[in-house]
Amino acid sequence: MSDFNPRTSDAEPTRALVATDLKELLDRPIAYHRIFARVGGGPLAGIFLSQAIYWSQRTNDPDGWFYKTRGDWFLETELTRRHQETARRNLRQVGVLEERLSGVPAQLYFRVNLGQLQKLITDLLDGKKSVPASRAESAQQEGTKRANKKGAFAPAIKSETTSENSSETTSSSEEEEILDSLIKRAVEIGANKKRVEAAIRANPIEAAKQLDFFPDRENIKAPGAALLTAIEQSWPPPPKATERAASAADRAQRAAQIQKAQSNKDAEKAREKSLVEESKMLDQLFADLPEDEREELIEQAKRRTAPLAALGRVPKAALDAERRNLQRREMGLPVDD
């Protein structure tokens, strides 16, 4: 098999294909606000926060929560799992990003603390707060300091080792934070910490589900013991939780219908505005015609609409539309159907 030769005639179609693909790839850029990188301690946090702000403004949840999978973040930002975990950790540390597990099965939801974000940006602009450094940046700085003392090859060796250990620690710490949050909620309900911790670590998804269900359970005499049993035996959702989920779906459907109706209304208003502007333009063009041509056009309109007008079937809007079409024909413009 011969190798590809870019000097052959096949190169031109290839370039055209690449150009087409590039147009599609560049069709949907994402916004990146540089100030967010200073808030979160680096560009990874800046990119993540910029996209989180975008979805916060488009969620149907009144409290600002929105759901995104790790795959969604990657497709939208190209941030890998490690990048996402670093960005999330830094943003949580400064109080800008909030997270919670909710739903059945449990899903990770996000919310941007806009008040804290505004405060941090104000402090940065006023020079009251320094830029928070991420762990990766701190590790890199530490590696550089040791290199100056021990030798030229120390930075590369230290950086590689630190990066590997940091990613493992980050992944582990993320899981521990989620588990600790579930355990804390269960203990607040009244569960025995040691027993419920074992149950949650054995099945964290079921635990998160049962914790979400628990406020809707009725006639519970021993809440802590009941929660523990619910996790271990996978109790079905209570009727109120099912009704709430159905109600949320209904609200989302109604919101979509309202949005669609509003879009149709806006489109109709835009169409009416366009017709008014077009009518003004045609009236001006009509007024600029010689008087004999104007009279001829008026007579044509009367002859074309007289039979139907006599039967009372032509409203004023139809007569106006016919007049506009006559003007368009006279001026060589396309007419409405």
Residue 163 lies inside a defined structural domain of this protein: yes
Residue 175 lies inside a defined structural domain of this protein: yes
Question: pLDDT digits over 29-86, tens only?
Answer: 778 888 898 898 889 999 999 999 999 888 888 889 999 988 889 888 889 999 999 9
Q: CA–CA separation, 37 vs 46, rounded Å?
A: 4
If asked whether residues 293 and 323 sit together in one domain, one would say yes
In the three-class reduction of DSSP (H, G, I as helix; E, B as strand; rest coil), residue 96 is classed as coil
Say which residue, 118 or 163, is predicted with more confidence: 118
Amino acid at 254: R
Say which residue, 227 or 305, is predicted with more confidence: 227
pLDDT of residue 162: 47
Confidence at 129, pLDDT banded by 50, 70, 90: low
State which residues form the domain around 305: 289-337
**Half-sphere exposure (CA, 13 Å, Cβ side) for 70?**
9
Closest CA to 200 of 169, 171, 232: 232
Q: Has residue 228 got a pLDDT over 60?
A: yes
**Count of other CB atoms within 10 angstroms of residue 314:** 16
**Count of other CB atoms within 10 angstroms of residue 57:** 10
Say which residue, 334 or 83, is predicted with more confidence: 83
Burial of residue 84 (number of CB atoms within 10 Å: 0-12, 13-18, 19+): buried
If asked whether residues 100 and 149 sit together in one domain, one would say no
Mean local confidence (pLDDT), 298-312: 64
Per cent of the chain over pLDDT 90 is 15
Contact assessment for residue 213 and residue 227, using Cβ atoms and an 8 Å cutoff: no
Residue 87 belongs to domain with CATH number? 1.10.10
If asked whether residues 82 and 40 sit together in one domain, one would say yes
**Half-sphere exposure (CA, 13 Å, Cβ side) for 204?**
15
Q: What is the DSSP string of 201-262?
A: HH-HHHHHHHHHHGGG--S-SSHHHHHHHHHHHTPPPPHHHHHHHHHHHHHHHHHHHHHHHH
Residue whose structure tokens are 């506009």: 324
- The token pair at 212 is 């979400």
pLDDT of residue 310: 55
Q: Which of 69-78, 92-101, 252-261, 308-317 has the least mean pLDDT?
A: 308-317
Q: Has residue 253 got a pLDDT over 60?
A: yes
When divided into structural domains, the chain yields a total of: 3
Residue 186 lies inside a defined structural domain of this protein: yes
The DSSP letter of residue 134 is: P
If asked whether residues 47 and 125 sit together in one domain, one would say yes
Omega of the bond leading into 204 within 30 degrees of 0 (cis): no
Q: Has residue 96 got a pLDDT over 90?
A: yes
Residue 270 lies inside a defined structural domain of this protein: no
Q: Has residue 165 got a pLDDT over 70?
A: no
Q: CA–CA separation, 118 vs 126, rounded Å?
A: 12
Q: Has residue 221 got a pLDDT over 70?
A: yes
Confidence at 92, pLDDT banded by 50, 70, 90: very high
Residue 77 lies inside a defined structural domain of this protein: yes
Closest CA to 51 of 99, 108, 95, 110: 110
If asked whether residues 116 and 184 sit together in one domain, one would say no
pLDDT of residue 330: 66
> Among residues 233, 251, 269, which one ends one of the domains?
233
- The token pair at 260 is 């669609």
If asked whether residues 123 and 44 sit together in one domain, one would say yes
> Among residues 116, 132, 148, which one ends one of the domains?
132
If asked whether residues 83 and 171 sit together in one domain, one would say no
Confidence at 93, pLDDT banded by 50, 70, 90: very high
Residue 28 lies inside a defined structural domain of this protein: no
Mean local confidence (pLDDT), 106-129: 86
- The token pair at 3 is 């190798």
If asked whether residues 157 and 112 sit together in one domain, one would say no
CB contact set of 335 (below 8 Å; sequence gap of 6+): 325, 328, 329
Q: Which of 116-125, 175-184, 198-207, 324-333 has the least mean pLDDT?
A: 324-333
Residue 239 lies inside a defined structural domain of this protein: no
If asked whether residues 87 and 171 sit together in one domain, one would say no
> Among residues 132, 156, 186, which one ends one of the domains?
132
Mean local confidence (pLDDT), 240-259: 72
If asked whether residues 128 and 141 sit together in one domain, one would say no
If asked whether residues 188 and 165 sit together in one domain, one would say yes
If asked whether residues 50 and 120 sit together in one domain, one would say yes
Backbone angles phi, psi at 112, to 5 degrees: -95, 125
Residue 310 lies inside a defined structural domain of this protein: yes
Question: pLDDT digits over 312-331, tens only?
Answer: 555 566 667 777 777 677 66
Say which residue, 32 or 233, is predicted with more confidence: 233
**How far apart, in Å, do the first and last CA atoms of the chain sit?**
59
